[in-house]
Amino acid sequence: MNSNIDSTSDARTANNAVRHKYRTLSDAEKAQMQEVKDMGAALITKLHEIGGTDVEGDRFGSRDLSLANTHIEDAVMRAVRHITA
């Protein structure tokens, strides 16, 4: 059974095998994390729009757009790691 946990939930620590200790995030930190993720998602949607590809798919219109997507994902991950550290 695959259970989904919201990334801003305090229960997010329940199924992580790598990071063994977490701290409880403040409401401001939860809001920052959600905003960063929303901004990343909006930019990835724009890449699909630019490339004429399906937002639900994982293919992009060019190698450059695919690389841009990878860098967006990396930037979001690193910003979230900073917020949650």
- Look at residue 12 and tell me if it is in a domain: no
CA 69 to CA 77: how far, in whole Å? 12
> What is the pTM assigned to this prediction?
0.77
Could you tell me the sign of the dihedral formed by the alpha carbons of 61, 63, 64, 66, in that order?
positive
- pLDDT given for residue 67 in this prediction: 98
* Lowest model confidence (mean pLDDT) among 7-21, 24-38, 59-73: 7-21
Domain count across the chain = 1
- Look at residue 9 and tell me if it is in a domain: no
- Look at residue 73 and tell me if it is in a domain: yes
- Look at residue 2 and tell me if it is in a domain: no
Burial pattern 29-43, b for ≥16 Cβ within 10 A else e, equals ebebbeebbeebeee
- Look at residue 14 and tell me if it is in a domain: no
- Look at residue 77 and tell me if it is in a domain: yes
Average pLDDT, the chain: 89
As a whole number, mean pLDDT of residues 50-54 equals: 97
Structural domain span for residue 56: 26-84
- Look at residue 6 and tell me if it is in a domain: no
- Look at residue 8 and tell me if it is in a domain: no
Answer whether 51's CB lies under 8 Å from 61's CB: yes
